[in-house]
């Protein structure tokens, strides 16, 4: 990888390259990179993500508001055709990231500037102390900026294409890390800010935190309890009810794909998307949440090098 960077630097495509002597962590590398930057607006982009032409121009106007500290780009799947797993994620990104974040942006409830592709005001990052050592550092940074009184926005015209896991095993490993952050960030770090007695309390920030906790933590954990209750009350008729729910969810996903302007080539995979979300991804989230709550699995995640884990918040 470093040889590639050196070649790009020699060709003038990379202005400045910094090589760390040992693997420290993505967080350390980004903080060192931020110190080397001189511009006020910086883009943090993962190595497996590419900005589409015009993405920077689309994101910059949002910073005309001095209270805006972060702008999330709209992520698309670059390796969409690689497998069924990537096609599922292409639909997921369109619905959950594109449409979901447009709604969150309109309501002022954006909880995340994606670490894969986002723009930031460097002075705001320095004010809040840069990125913290966390398994999901982008969520932690976004909430720090919001807690400091800054706004975060979503730029649907600023498109970045990213590589996603191509196998179910790789996707599961990724989501265990992502879903653990629901506990590490919004419960352990931020939940105290929903109290009016907290010095960082504001109504809009409390709504952001409660929105994530209710829809992404409480409801998934309540699903098995609901299924047991449903079976105990209606018996085998529960399968009929759940089948009807599945049909309804599929129809809703079709509607959301129309809104998100998902390419027609992906529409045959929408039933697979609905099935994956409810039969595969929800159990994965439940396991990840319980694993984090009971065993604090994020503190043993290889995403953070072992010698750096003492710095985890």
In 3-state terms the chain splits into helix, strand, coil percentages (rounded to 5) of 65, 10, 25
Strand order in the sheet with 49-51: 41-45, 117-121, 68-77, 151-162, 49-51
CATH of 24-311 among 3.90.550, 3.30.70, 3.40.50, 2.60.120: 3.90.550
User: What is the structure's pLDDT at 199?
Assistant: 86
Q: Which residues contact 223 (CB under 8 A, 6 or more apart)?
A: 282, 286
Q: Which of 59, 18, 22, 54 is nearest to 42 (CA)?
A: 59
Cα end-to-end distance, the chain, whole Å: 30
User: What is the structure's pLDDT at 172?
Assistant: 97
Which H or E element spans position 76? Answer: strand 68-77
Q: Which residues contact 52 (CB under 8 A, 6 or more apart)?
A: 159, 160, 161
User: What is the structure's pLDDT at 213?
Assistant: 96
User: What is the structure's pLDDT at 8?
Assistant: 66
Radius of gyration for the alpha carbons in the chain, expressed in angstroms and rounded? 20
Residue 20: CA atoms inside 13 Å, Cβ hemisphere, count?
12
Q: Is the dihedral of CA 183, 187, 188, 189 positive or negative?
A: positive
Residue with tokens 């399968």: 239
Which H or E element spans position 84? Answer: helix 84-92
**Low-confidence residues in the chain, pLDDT < 50:** none
User: What is the structure's pLDDT at 25?
Assistant: 84
Beta bridge partners of 68: 151
Residues found in the chain: 313
The SS3 of residue 64 is helix
Map out the domains of the chain as residue ranges. 24-311
The CA-atom distances, in angstroms, between 9 and each of 2, 4, 49, 109 are 10, 9, 19, 39
The SS3 of residue 209 is helix
User: What is the structure's pLDDT at 251?
Assistant: 97
Q: Which residues contact 231 (CB under 8 A, 6 or more apart)?
A: 238
**Inter-residue contact 249 to 278 (CB < 8 Å):** yes
User: What is the structure's pLDDT at 208?
Assistant: 94
């Amino acid at each position: 990888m470093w040889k590639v960077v050196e070649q790009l630097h020699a060709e003038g495509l990379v202005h400045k390259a910094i090589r760390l002597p040992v693997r420290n962590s993505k967080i350390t590398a980004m903080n060192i990179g931020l110190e080397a930057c001189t511009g006020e607006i910086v883009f943090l982009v993962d190595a497996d993500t590419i900005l589409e032409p015009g993405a920077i121009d689309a994101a910059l106007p949002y910073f005309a508001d001095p209270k805006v500290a972060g702008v999330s780009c709209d992520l698309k799947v670059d390796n969409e055709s690689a497998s069924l797993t990537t096609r599922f994620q292409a639909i997921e990104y369109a619905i959950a990231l594109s449409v979901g974040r447009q709604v969150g942006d309109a309501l002022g409830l954006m909880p995340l500037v994606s670490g894969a592709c986002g723009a930031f005001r460097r002075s705001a990052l320095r004010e809040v102390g840069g990125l913290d050592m966390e398994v999901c550092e982008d969520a932690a940074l976004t909430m720090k900026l919001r807690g400091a009184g800054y706004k975060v926005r979503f730029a649907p015209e600023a498109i970045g294409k990213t590589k996603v896991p191509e196998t179910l095993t790789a996707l599961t490993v990724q989501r265990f890390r992502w879903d653990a952050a629901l506990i590490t960030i919004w419960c352990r770090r931020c939940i105290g800010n929903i109290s009016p007695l907290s010095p960082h309390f504001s109504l809009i920030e409390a709504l952001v935190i409660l929105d994530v906790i209710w829809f992404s933590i409480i409801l998934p954990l309540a699903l098995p309890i609901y299924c047991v209750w449903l079976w105990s009350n209606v018996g085998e008729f529960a399968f009929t009810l759940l089948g009807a729910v599945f049909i309804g969810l599929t129809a809703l996903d079709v509607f959301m794909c129309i809104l998100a302007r998902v390419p027609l080539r992906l529409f045959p995979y929408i039933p697979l998307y609905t099935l994956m979300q409810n039969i595969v991804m929800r159990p994965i989230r439940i396991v990840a949440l319980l694993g984090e709550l009971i065993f604090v699995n994020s503190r043993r995640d290889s995403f953070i090098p072992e010698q750096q884990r003492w710095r985890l918040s």
